[in-house]
Amino acid sequence: MTSRHSYLAEAIGTYFLVLIGPGAAMVDVWTHGALGVPGIALAFAVVVIAMVWVFGPISGAHINPAVTVALWSARRFPARDVIPYVMAQCVGAVAASATLRAIMGPVGQLGATLPRIAVPAAFAVEWLLSFALMLVILAAARGVPVGLTVGLCALAAGPLTGASMNPARSFGPALVAGVWRAHWIYWIAPMTAMVAAAWVHRLLSQIRANRRETAFVATKSDDPDMRSAEICGSRIQPSE
């Protein structure tokens, strides 16, 4: 796939993430609570699973600027694609919010993420949720575990901070609705948390690899047949 295909996939994936996720929050307000927090969380979970399933083979289905930056920081994503990915994700999010406003009007502030607890506490919540989500992304790299994690976080912390964990998801509604209160939380917390998670995962993976190598060497040295084979092999001289 060319880079242009990847950028388009990120834009479309983020579009549907915002259309369905914050859209569910708007429908909940429109219907006076017909969905509730569980319904909104389920909407987020299912749309993430679907987008990862569809666009994962094309672009990796980051659909989240913090994921893109974190993968780049851990040297798992090319630097040349970071800015185009982030721009595509934000464009998709803004387009989705504009679509929602055209359909339902400025209901529920377009599903904008706003802290309903103290700002320091909201930052801590978003940071911890983002850290956990990134670990799952790196460990699972499949739609179902990632989607379920997003849904669980939305269920547990949605009423507190919106459980964004995604700068683009917050940026789209904020721009179209003009709601910027404490918006910086939804960029700084996910970015720093996911970068930290990426490096923690890398460190743990290196430790695990070193332990496996050490265990293999120990097993090899304890096996008399392997030692004999090594000794015999070392005595065989190449024919001239």
pLDDT in tens, the chain (240 residues): 568 899 999 999 999 999 999 999 999 999 999 999 999 999 999 999 999 999 999 999 999 999 999 999 999 999 999 999 999 999 999 999 999 999 999 999 999 999 999 999 999 999 999 999 999 999 987 789 999 999 999 999 999 999 999 999 999 999 999 999 999 999 999 999 999 999 999 999 888 777 766 665 556 555 555 454 444 444 434 444
According to the model, what pLDDT value does residue 158 have? 96
Q: Is residue 98 part of a domain?
A: yes
According to the model, what pLDDT value does residue 207 have? 85
According to the model, what pLDDT value does residue 240 have? 40
Summarize the chain as % helix, strand, coil (round to 5).
Answer: 80, 0, 20
Domain containing residue 134: CATH number:
1.20.1080.10
According to the model, what pLDDT value does residue 205 have? 86
Q: Is residue 91 part of a domain?
A: yes
According to the model, what pLDDT value does residue 142 have? 79
Q: Is residue 223 part of a domain?
A: no
Q: Is residue 220 part of a domain?
A: no
Q: How many helices (H) and strands (E) does the chain have?
A: 9, 0
- Domain holding 112, by residue range, is 3-207
How far CA 161 is from CA of 137, 143, 155, 170, 177, in Å, comes to 21, 24, 11, 11, 17
Q: Which two tokens stand for residue 164?
A: 């964004």
Q: Is residue 238 part of a domain?
A: no
Q: Which two tokens stand for residue 78?
A: 């090319």
According to the model, what pLDDT value does residue 1 have? 54
Q: Is residue 240 part of a domain?
A: no
For the chain, the domain total comes to 1
According to the model, what pLDDT value does residue 91 have? 98
Q: Is residue 219 part of a domain?
A: no
According to the model, what pLDDT value does residue 231 have? 43
According to the model, what pLDDT value does residue 233 have? 46
Q: Is residue 224 part of a domain?
A: no
Q: By C-alpha distance, which of 158, 169, 154, 184 is closest to 93?
A: 169
